[in-house]
Structure 1
Amino acid sequence: MSHDIRTERLHLRPFAEQDAKALLDILGDTEVNTFLPMFPLKHLEEAEAYLHKKLAALRSGESLLYDAVCMKGSDVPVGYVHVSGAGSHDLGYGLRKAFWHRGLCTEACQAIIDRLRRDGLPYVTATHDVNNPRSGNVMQAIGMKYRYSYRELWLPKNIPVVFRMYQLNLDGQEERIYDEYRNKYPHFIEEL
């Protein structure tokens, strides 16, 4: 899915191989990485390999989208948004710490949701660690609905995590609930 999306403050575009240094700046920060399913990137070669793998996943259809989030007027990524090509159509996002608390993830994700709706994707899901409620705030702000929570031993960090699963049905079929996680892990409904 080749595209170029502009919002009031942002420019979203597919990542390219030359973005490895910027990706290292994002994913190498231990605080940014706290709630990611990977360890922080440590050096440029590791970032290049990671980016190469992500771009290969796009080509194979394993990922639907892996976009660089740039500030308008700049081509340097300060964050990312991705959507999995797997059945979950999992939406993920992150920003360099210097860009937190400005509503930029919400703005980027809303632009991506608008694009996915136009492209005919039926739904997206997203999960967040209960200890990362700000990520859940982004999900709610873009119209996602809480469906259930589940417990998972999160690898490779090998820590137990309670995740909240959110979903947005883009085709109007509100009764649809993606159930892979609740079928695989102990799950429950929280009063939020």
Structure 2
Amino acid sequence: MVLETKRLLLRPFEPDDLDALYLLLQDEEVNTFLPWFPARDRRQAERFYQDSFQGRPYSYAICRKDDSIPVGYIKADTGDGHELSYALRREFWHHGIVTEAGQALIEQLKKDHVPYLTATHDRNNPRSGGVMRQLGMRYCYSYVEQWQPKNFPVVFRMYQLNLDGQEDRVYSTYGDRAQTRFIEEGL
């Protein structure tokens, strides 16, 4: 399924997109706050494509309408947490692209009766939290996790958007698994 916005096409990744995906995954700055190390070669990008996008609903290449070449990705997992994740090539940061793509994805999730969406970000990456808030997500709690495979502790902030009207629901699994869970004031 293809989703369309004013500036973007969200479409499934295809094998022909591997060069564009590798360009995104190999960038150290883009991957600073993502849980994996930058891709060292095209084979790693191909494995990422197979593991993260191939045959998965709600997994989209973010493409500008003018050329349909992927500049990023956005996806919502179909597992228990319905976790939203995204990444964008550096030269497209700060233009509202992920927010625009996220709004389109959220509309599709609502149509498909997905009850809620969660997302987490490293608290050292507050811009990602800004995207979550712009999408209407609300901060629920923070927790500490030993981040793998990078193997260092990270304070994550968990956001949630209830799509079915059950505003009091909070997905607690991330915090329940952590040894340390807390609420940060002012978020």
Alpha-carbon distance, 1:56 to partner = 4.5
Q: Percent identity?
A: 52
Cα distance in 2 for partners of 1:34, 1:172 equals: 35
Name the TM-score, length of structure 1 as normaliser: 0.93
- Residue matched to 1:107: 100
Alpha-carbon distance, 1:55 to partner = 3.6
- Residue matched to 1:43: 41
Cα distance in 1 for partners of 2:134, 2:142 equals: 19
- Residue matched to 2:119: 126
Q: 1:151 to 1:100 in 2, by over 3 A?
A: same
Deviations 1:131-150 (A, max 9, x none): 00000000000100100000
Cα distance in 2 for partners of 1:5, 1:57 equals: 16
Q: State whether structure 2 residue 61 is matched by structure 1 residue 68.
A: yes
- Residue matched to 1:163: 156
Q: What SS does structure 2 have at the residue aligned with 1:24?
A: helix
Deviations 1:40-85 (A, max 9, x none): 0111122112212224562xxxxx4210000112121000001112
Q: What SS does structure 1 have at the residue aligned with 2:29?
A: helix
- Residue matched to 1:61: none
Deviations 1:93-121 (A, max 9, x none): 11000100101110011110011011110
Say if 1:24 and 1:44, in contact at 8 Å, map to a contact too.
yes
- Residue matched to 2:143: 150
Cα distance in 2 for partners of 1:57, 1:179 equals: 28
Q: Which amino acid aligns with 1:40?
A: P
Alpha-carbon distance, 1:6 to partner = 1.1
Q: State whether structure 2 residue 182 is matched by structure 1 residue 188.
A: yes
Say if 2:75 and 2:86, in contact at 8 Å, map to a contact too.
yes
RMSD across aligned positions (CA)? 1.0
Q: Which amino acid aligns with 1:74?
A: D
Cα distance in 2 for partners of 1:9, 1:172 equals: 29
Say if 2:58 and 2:105, in contact at 8 Å, map to a contact too.
no
Of 32, 35, 39 in structure 2, the residue corresponding to residue 34 of structure 1 is: 32
Say if 1:17 and 1:52, in contact at 8 Å, map to a contact too.
no
Q: What SS does structure 1 have at the residue aligned with 2:11?
A: strand
Q: State whether structure 2 residue 21 is matched by structure 1 residue 23.
A: yes
Q: 29-38 or 40-49, which moves further after superposition? A: 40-49
Q: What SS does structure 1 have at the residue aligned with 2:58?
A: strand
Over 3 Å off, 4+ runs:
none
Cα distance in 2 for partners of 1:171, 1:53 equals: 29
Cα distance in 2 for partners of 1:96, 1:85 equals: 25
Cα distance in 1 for partners of 2:89, 2:43 equals: 19
Of 62, 73, 77 in structure 1, the residue corresponding to residue 70 of structure 2 is: 77
Say if 1:12 and 1:68, in contact at 8 Å, map to a contact too.
yes
Q: Which runs of 5+ in 1 are unaligned?
A: 59-63
